[in-house]
Amino acid sequence: MGQHETFQMEVYHRARFSPYGDLIEHWDCHHEKAQPLQWPGTEASDFHNNLGSLEQEFRLTWIPKASSSKQKLYFEGLHDSYNYMNDTDAGIEYSPEKDEYSIHLISTRPDGTYYIHALKPETTFIMAFALPNPENGEPIKETLKAFYFHGDEAVHLHAGVWHSLPILEYRPNGSAEFKEIDMTKPKKNFGGVVQSDFRGELQPICYG
């Protein structure tokens, strides 16, 4: 999925989001437990029953992109479990000249559901999603959509759904922290997060 894609921002509506997952209106009253899934194309004998839920927190911060007028979101894991991807590019950029946000990376968990919410209720954010191909688990480009969320809402994605990291409204050095819950890493053959090259623009975006 490496070709260039462009799509318009869509304000969240429950009826249109339901294929991707569930909106939890008040996450502070919710108890989340990740649900496992066998990744398409793997043998049943490779799937282990010892998987559990893993809770992690991370921070996203807008910083200048080197040799460019653009800004990019910087990912900082707040737990040791993020060692595999700590202090890295979030795959999201903002162009002040065009007032345009771009995404060039989406990911999925090959072993189960995914849950995320902002740690502060004043945080608003946008995420892009794509449904998985039932035959091979790859993202279906025709299903790419973006939705807006408030900070007191949580997002529970169905197993295998592809997603971007949260897109924050650009403010110089603006940042926000999030909690995510997914499956702990199984013993073999899966290895956590699967990523796909992608390019898309969100224009215009209206926050709030």
Is pLDDT larger for residue 197 or for residue 126? Answer: 126
| pLDDT tens-digit map of 55-110 | 889 999 999 998 889 999 999 988 765 555 555 888 899 999 988 888 888 888 77
| pLDDT tens-digit map of 116-157 | 999 999 999 999 898 988 888 888 888 888 888 888 899 999
* Model-wide pTM > 0.75: yes
pLDDT of residue 1: 46
Beta bridge partners of 116: 155, 180
* Region of 117 on the Ramachandran plot (φ > 0 left; ψ -120 to 50 alpha; else beta): beta
**Burial annotation 178-187 (CB, 10 A radius, 16+ → b, else e):** bbbbbbbebe
pLDDT (average), residues 12-38: 74
pLDDT of residue 139: 87
Rounded-to-integer distance, Cα 103 and Cα 127, Å = 10
Give the helix ranges, DSSP H, for 11-126: 14-17
Residue 24 has pLDDT above 60, yes or no: yes
Go through the domains of the chain in sequence order and give each one's CATH number: 14-39+54-185+195-202 (2.60.120)
Under 8 Å between Cβ of 10 and 16: yes
Rounded-to-integer distance, Cα 117 and Cα 132, Å = 22
Both tokens of 25, joined, read 């209106």
Both tokens of 67, joined, read 């040799």
Backbone angles phi, psi at 175, to 5 degrees: -150, 165
pLDDT of residue 172: 92
Rounded-to-integer distance, Cα 137 and Cα 163, Å = 13
Is pLDDT larger for residue 206 or for residue 175? Answer: 175
Is pLDDT larger for residue 62 or for residue 3? Answer: 62
